[in-house]
Structure 1
Amino acid sequence: MTRPAIRHAGENRAALQAQRAPSALAVESGIAAGLAPAFAERAAARDLYLTPPWGGRALWHYALPELRGAVVADPCDGLGHLSGAIADVADRVLVSDVEPWRPGVGVADFLAPGAWEGLALTALGATGVDWIVANPPYGAGRPEAFLERALELGRAGLVRRGVALLVRASWREGQARHALFERSPPAAWWHFAERLPMALARFTGSTATAYAWVVWQFGPDGRPVAPPGGHPISAAIPPGARKLLQRPGDPDAALPSPSAERQARARAELWRVAAAEDGTVLYRPARRGQARRLDRDQAVAEALRLLAPGGESDTDLAAALLAAADHARQLAGQSEEDEG
């Protein structure tokens, strides 16, 4: 059987393949976290953001149980954390990347015509794969190019069942992408209710960015099947997924959860407010912003904003911490008087 030729995806593919100047901020933060400068620049140029393994397991646990026993390809393997999570349930995972980040991984530019196909057909024969699962680069136009490429491979019969991409949740927005989704409708969006922390070439305990798994399911002709009613499923990977799916051997297992980091910061801020001698405290925003002096009530309100939502439990925590700090300060004052 002769396979149909695979057409090029988009008019600006050459531009998307070109090496982009790495983000200076990403490089600086990576170096500050201990990455070698040359490696940080290389990683930033390729958008090497590591997927926490529990985020990969969430795909097959909640969104796509069809990965169990399937043949899967990850063309953006990076350091192997996502493909390792998929390998927990898949029959086989074909891994490749445009850079040789780790030994034993096929080197192929997924966007270059024929490069990935040659690797896949050599490794798997003429059968292709069931699914493509990837955390693609997030630079302008890159996720779209990866999706278009995967759709081409579906039409060519090399990807039989569908595609799942891990993207920023904001990727759902935009007029150009709306047109893309109209042409190639996703079956489901699975948003992480609990933050999925990703950082340049390393793991971190927190993030301000929201992520989602987007799934396209193919019909017999290798084209995306429109979901029932024409609207994709929109669902949440619920809070607690990290605790449920993380394993002791995972590289990010020892890091605190974002909520734990936030609560620890809030507790420290509350203690600082309570211990202030004149009842005021210098508040410096975590992000850009001018420091300002707040009175005790204002500072407590700012600290409470750091706590995970919990209504009365947050208020109770604040009251308990402030009372304890007041008591400790009173005891310290009594001790000084006794010594005098």
Structure 2
Amino acid sequence: MRVLAFGTYDVSRHPRVGVLVAGLRDRGVEVEEVVRPLGLSTAERVRMLQQPWRLPLLVVRLLRCWTSILVRGVRAVRRSPVDAVLVGYLGHFDVVLARLAFPRTTVVLDHLVFAGDTARDRGAGAGLRGRLLDGLDRLALACADVVVVDTEEHAALVPSRRREDTVVCPVGADVSWFEAQQAAPAPRADRPLRAVFFGLHTPLQGTVTIAQALALLADRPDIEVTMAGSGQDFERAHALGRANPHVTWHEWIPAHELPALVAAHDVCLGIFGTGPKSRRVVPNKAYQGAAAGCVVVTGDTPPQRRALGSAGVFVEAGDAAALAVALRRLADDRAATAELRTASAARAREMFSPRAVTAPLQQALARRHPPSTSLQEHR
């Protein structure tokens, strides 16, 4: 089977599609990538959709990227036909181009983010704007033959008539996180417990809750915390958490440095938001932190419990006191913490590797293109 990975995605910013590509390749699928990153983060794309006067910049960038990938994509397919076109994460617009450019080919959309849902989570999806973003989601889904989401809860947001075309593939973690765990020094009980958070400071992440917990831990020099990231709640979180002298704040860590940084910690903090979206997702950092060999401490939600099982530590979302208690317990019982780290790494190897998470997608493609009819047979 041959697949064309197509779009304006950026693996350095959004590693999800890189995991899918690596997993399919590991499963014997030939994948060619035709990509030109748009160069905009999720927050920047959402802001442009919220502020219409910014849209001309998006349109100009999009047309430049589309010209490049369209020419290269058509050449690639003419050179060697493909069974499917995989449109990477944040591909709401790219999937329209893919549908027009490859009308008779199976189009797969990695729909990790619903635009309307994300805007509402960030407090900007009410009224006409929200309806327009919901319309954009519907258009994107209509252009795809196969829709890939990351949780059963996100699958429930797909219109019922498209559910049979929807595949659930966990986000997973790329190989760099597993390699970082292997290269990390062995944990030591004679040093402080080290916890890390990385990501955007948005309501979904619940960094205000994290900061409130940090303030409650100011009397614990044996608990050191690294906070990496920026976003709409950063100033408030920093103001609340700076009472704790044992916290190091970074507004930015290069993506290639994150795996080693996280693997040097005992605990990876997940998400603690209380909004509806927080109850539907398992964040990248939960998979990546586990792959790096950390105990993942995160909000107690159904999809996160399914993903992490007994290897995770769960606290009530939005409850700073409960989070502080969980970190105190991990610091007080380092033997139990070491066991949880081992269990976390084992679960990641079993369930979060690129090969593991892409099993449902490969099966869905195989049903559409069985070996007897696959283009691979005619090459």
Fold shared per TM-score above 0.5:
no
The one of the two structures with greater contact order (alpha-carbon pairs below 8 A, sep at least 6) is 2
Higher helix fraction (1 or 2): 2
> TM-score, normalized by length of structure 2?
0.33
Larger radius of gyration: 1
